[in-house]
A and B are shown apart, each in its own frame.
Chain A
Amino acid sequence: MSVYQHNSDLASVTRKSVSGEAQASNAIAWLTGRSLQRNSGVPLDLNWIKEVRVNTSAVERRAQTQVARRTVKKDWQAAWLLRAITCMDLTTLSGDDTDERVRRLCAKARHPIQAEIEQRLGIEALGIKVAAVCVYHTFVETALSALEGSGVGVAAVSTGFPAGLSPLAERVAEIRRSVEAGAQEIDVVITRAHVFGGRWQALYDEISAFKQACGPMHMKVILGSGDLLTLRNVARASFVAMMAGADFIKTSTGKEPTNATLPVSLVMVRAIREYAQQTGMAVGFKPAGGIRTAKQSLDWLALMKDELGNSWLSAELFRFGASGLLGDIERQLEHHATGRYSAEYRHPIA
């Protein structure tokens, strides 16, 4: 995918914003030697949308071979798996969630790995914990109190998650309520119909309204890639979300027929790179749904490392949205520590 033509006004504005040494000090990321700022959005530029080119077969091929080209073994693998844990939004988004269920999840978020395994791996000092716990608004307060002092963030899914079809005013109000309740991160869903209808201005305005409601809190924009279906739609929606000020773009709700896939991720990651190169601003990436194995988490980390660089290997700019992933990572880490293959029941559940 590429966006090589851009509005010259936009280019001059954004280039100015990143010039000067002083700016480098608030850099949140580096991309091929260039410092990047947090995304503050740019005016909607329809040329970016028009110029989107995604060749599905070629993207699939790259996604397929990327996985075969990269692997990490032994201690490196253990280190990468630990990194995956620290980039995890431990998630529960079910109709049967209760306060107690959320507290249990938060307990796991504080101590994702058993102390004994930590000792064996010699990583106690790292204080490994997940990045955030992701819940419905109803449980924000429960999660906050359960996580108090842990450094683990609380993310709330919002804006009529997962369909995002309630009236705009209600969706914006929902964000405000979560922010007021203390959520540090808001995962919003877009109106997929705007993408199908090519209503980019409407999409941009919607996400801008969400952003405003989020204030300084981090906004993750869920594109609903499983609904959008085509990679070009995913790319276009990615650009609109970033222009409208997304801190993260996120693949899917976890409720769609297919959720995070490597081809979809590759397209979004390339869009992030393009946006960073054009504007000097860094946007994070969150694949969500369907990532259940340790091996998969390594594939995604390698994708981030190769396509965007090491800045996108930390929770600042990369998250896994997952509920079942942690269990498999724990088993792999125990295997690494003991040399014996582990069993699921040996690890406390979330």
Chain B
Amino acid sequence: MSIAEKFVAMEYGPAPEDPKEAVAWLDGHERRFGLFIDGGWQEPAAGEYFDTFDPSTGEKLASVAQGSAADIDTAVRAARVALPKWRALTPHGRARYLYALARLVQKHSRLLAVLETMDNGKPIRESRDIDIPLVARHFYYHAGWAQLLEQEFPAHEACGVVGQIIPWNFPLLMLAWKIAPALAAGNTVVLKPAEFTPLTALKFAELCQEAGLPAGIVNIVTGDGSTGEALVKHPDVDKIAFTGSTEVGRAIRGATATSHKRLSLELGGKSPFIIFDDADLDSAVEGLVDGIWFNQGQVCCAGSRLLMQESIAEVLIAKIRDRMSTLRIGPPLDKAIDIGAIVARVQLERIQRMVAQGVEEGATCWQPQVALPPRGLYYPPTLLSNVHPTSIVAQQEIFGPVLAAMTFRTPHEAVELANNTVYGLASCVWSENINVALHVAAQLKAGVVWVNCTNLFDAACGFGGYRESGYGREGGREGLLEYIEPKWFKHAPKLSSAGGGGESALLSTAAGSGEATSDESDKSSDGANVSAIDRTVKLYIGGKQARPDSGYSMEVRSSDGRLLGEAPLGNRKDIRNAVEAARKGAAWSKATAHTRAQVLYYCAENLAERREEIVHRLAAVVGEKQAAAEMEIGIQRIFSYAAWADKFDGVVHNPPFRNVALAMNEAIGTVGLICPADTPLLGFLSLAMPLLAVGNTVIAIPSEKYPLITGDLYQLFDTSDLPGGAINIVTGYVSQLLKTLAEHDDVDAIWCYGDEATVAAAKAMSIGNLKQVWTNEGRTVDWFDPKQGEGRWFLEHATQVKNIWVPYGE
């Protein structure tokens, strides 16, 4: 076609990015890559390799080592050996390496972008303009955290050797999200890239060499699911960070239950994209393009569920169709392509299968008339309308360029539909009315809410999900917390067994509490004969005392074996009732921080009022000295959390856009609490109070050793204006109640403080809805020491961060 003919046609011609540098790099390695372990390249132990392909052509790009359990072991050892030196380096020393990595990513940005596009199939525009710049930004940002680590996180230390497993949709970006914070915090890393997309991670390994990063700090072990499994199960790994599917996340939770590995999971999503009738509709349509038609829809936070206000549905659908018709689908290395290739045949088939099923279930499928390239793995942009919440395409993650559209009538219904999912990763709200937008944003169960924008990311803003979209955050201060631990906790001794420990061990460290308690104990012995009338302690559910469903009781004995009384023996149904009551405890979760503070102060006041009788009874189990100390410090602890209630604020981030990103600390929701055995009063208060302070509702199982404390506690809560359902107490055997509580799908988190076996059980049983699990890892916590027993660490676990992005401008 001549220029004159092209002048008439006015079509886009081909605009290919030249891949020759990337090809030269591959050829320079003879298209064969080993494992990057201990600073050098190694053949895989079993000598096995697998191939990685360009999904847009089907051509083999390279052979890559299949890492085995033996290779993982070698890599973990290397990381372990490297750890002490890396940790001993000054913060500034680590910052310089991260800074060097950021610079190197920039210097090799085009090679990385081209390589990413070849391996993954995503348009070069995206790898060049979005992925790689964000990678560099992530290293810059975390070079900063490395520098500031000791100032900002005193008395913390790195988790240790971290195993990281990343997905194929943003290969290098996910690597950056994992490696940058891990290194900044002083961890060493074994990372397994996705089987479909290992190449940029291998190039990154070379950048680590170029940066002079000491051997063993970063190890890259390529392989398939079995390689990842070996990493997850390796006994010498201290933490696992995983991004990928919810199914695999669940398996990882199960596999790590009996270990002390910390876990952060960034899993699937079915994110709602809500458009109100007062939105800028043309811009909202572009938002969809950046949402569901970004990276071929293979994005965990893709706005895949379109919720449109009924009054605009027809107009909007027409606009979306028109826009879909101008999307250009084709070779991803072409600089003027919007939609590239699907990563692998298995993924393409999954998309085809799910769309077919959606249509079978009544959805109307619309695709623009676009010619797909004759070879390679492509799927056209697809709009499914007439979708109902019951349809598979409204519930399950498709991970393809497929938008499922539904309508709503009111903001209330929009929220209801948006939250009608097991996921909670991201969401979009489009409205020109800031009242509507922020009101809805506050109610969405999602880690990220984009107001009038979509798929914006920045290293300063934490990213991560609610519900089965996982737990933990990546990016921001909260992301760094996933890679450090309080020093004392890391080195805390193991609890000997349930009911072990004992008074002296705990109290010996409770400095200063001795004097205060000595005259208290005199007084309590005075009243020793007063409580002669039999006390009946009940369960406490929904603000009311309740008899146990079983009709049985458990004996409670003193330290010297005397029968002190009987506590109700709770069962499954009592837990069910307690969870229902907690879920209904909206009055508490909606109360203002100031109100919560007032109620907690009042609790402290009322506890102090009844100090003597409670200490007297408790003394029979834990001894007078400890009982008095538990009371004294318990009152202080309530005061602490009353103080915190209106001070644990979020922050406003400054990502490099004209935008405010509001990082709000939100209550997790309904939390199950297994209280420590040895400190029946103080242990309960130390855990229930931070949960309550930030607005959670709680189902607590008190110390099995002294469940009678329940009677004192509910009297306290009743007299302190704590609304019904805020806290619910079910006494009984932890071994029996934990299962129901941990498995309950309407419980959002479990805090379990017990011995190793109990803690492992809590983790293993939580996988049903992937609730967050926070435990003492079977270690002793000195509740009498405020450095261990209270503070931000507890509040951070009692909340999850929601980032609300609000661009502005007129």
Contacts and interface: CB of A to CB of B under 8 A. Distances in A.
B626 interface: no
Given A32-B325, A72-B13, A310-B10, A58 B280 contact: yes
Interface string B411-438: 0000000000000000000001000000
A169 interface: no
B320 to A, nearest CB: 12
Contact of B15 (A32, A59, A73, A79): A73
Nearest to B2: A122
Nearest to B326: A306
B346 interface: no
B810 A56 contact: yes
Contact of B6 (A54, A79, A305): A79
Contacts of A80: 10
A232 interface: yes
A257 to B, nearest CB: 17
A122 B129 CA distance: 36
Question: Which of B9, B10, B284, B325 has the largest number of chain A CB atoms within 10 A?
Answer: B10
Interface stretch (A63-71, A90-98, A218-226): A63-71
Contact of A54 (B3, B280, B336, B338): B280
B338 A57 contact: no
A340 interface: no
Given A54-B280, A71-B336, A72-B336, A60 B125 contact: no
Interface in B11-39: 11-15
A72 B7 contact: no
Contacts of A54: 280, 283
B335 A232 contact: no
B563 interface: no
A60 B809 contact: yes
A181 interface: no
A315 interface: no
Nearest to A54: B280
Interface in A45-90: 53-62, 65, 68-80, 82-83
A22 interface: no
B708 to A, nearest CB: 59
Nearest to A233: B810
Given A53-B281, A57-B809, A68-B125, A76 B13 contact: yes
Interface in A202-228: none
Contacts of A230: 810
B340 to A, nearest CB: 12
Given A58-B453, A121-B3, A70 B280 contact: no
A337 to B, nearest CB: 10
B4 A58 contact: no
A335 interface: no
Contact of B452 (A2, A58, A72, A123): A58
A306 B11 CA distance: 11
Given A55-B432, A79-B3, A70 B322 contact: no
A313 B10 contact: yes
B655 to A, nearest CB: 12
Contacts of A78: 3, 6
Contacts of A72: 12-13, 15, 336
B810 A232 contact: yes
B659 interface: yes
A327 to B, nearest CB: 20
A48 to B, nearest CB: 14
B510 interface: no
Contacts of B48: none
Contacts of B658: 57
A47 to B, nearest CB: 14
A53 B326 CA distance: 23
B801 to A, nearest CB: 23
Interface in B454-476: none
Contacts of B315: 2, 4
A202 B681 CA distance: 77
Contact of A4 (B10, B125, B281, B338): B281
Chain A: interface secondary structure?
Answer: helix
B647 to A, nearest CB: 32
A270 interface: yes
Contacts of B244: none
B206 interface: no
Contacts of A71: 15, 335-336
Nearest to B433: A53
A308 to B, nearest CB: 10
B7 A55 contact: no
B198 interface: no
Nearest to A56: B809
A58 B283 contact: yes
A1 B280 contact: yes
Nearest to A120: B3
A77 B6 CA distance: 9
Contacts of A4: 281, 312, 315
Interface in A1-35: 1-2, 4, 32
B658 to A, nearest CB: 6
Question: Which of A70, A76, A230 has the largest number of chain B CB atoms within 10 A?
Answer: A76
A68 B129 contact: yes
Given A4-B315, A75-B13, A82 B7 contact: yes
Contacts of A68: 125, 129
Question: Which of A55, A56, A310 has the largest number of chain B CB atoms within 10 A?
Answer: A55
A55 B452 contact: yes
Interface in B599-639: none
Nearest to A304: B10
A270 B285 CA distance: 12
Nearest to A59: B283
Contacts of B6: 75-76, 78-79
Contacts of A82: 3, 7
Nearest to A306: B326
Contacts of A53: 278-281, 432
B474 to A, nearest CB: 23
Contacts of B14: 73
Nearest to A128: B7
B685 to A, nearest CB: 47
A122 B283 contact: no
Given A73-B14, A83-B10, A123 B4 contact: yes
Nearest to A121: B3
A62 B326 CA distance: 14
Contacts of B659: 57
B649 interface: no
Nearest to A266: B282
Contacts of A75: 1-3, 6, 13
Nearest to A231: B810
Contacts of B338: 69
A1 B278 CA distance: 10
A305 B287 contact: no
Question: Which of A54, A65, A79, A231 has the largest number of chain B CB atoms within 10 A?
Answer: A79
A82 B7 CA distance: 7
B84 interface: no
Interface string B664-700: 0000000000000000000000000000000000000
Interface in A80-137: 80, 82-83, 121-123, 125-126
Contacts of B4: 79, 122-123, 125-126
B399 to A, nearest CB: 22
Contacts of A79: 3-4, 6-7, 9-10
A125 B325 CA distance: 33
Contacts of B326: 306
Given A2-B279, A58-B284, A79-B10, 10 more contacts: A4-B315, A58-B286, A58-B807, A69-B336, A73-B13, A74-B13, A76-B6, A78-B3, A78-B6, A121-B3
14 contacts: A1-B282, A32-B322, A56-B810, A57-B452, A57-B658, A61-B453, A62-B283, A65-B129, A68-B129, A73-B13, A79-B3, A121-B3, A122-B2, A123-B4
Which 8 interchain pairs have the tightest Cβ spacing? A76-B13, A58-B283, A57-B807, A79-B6, A2-B281, A56-B809, A55-B280, A79-B7
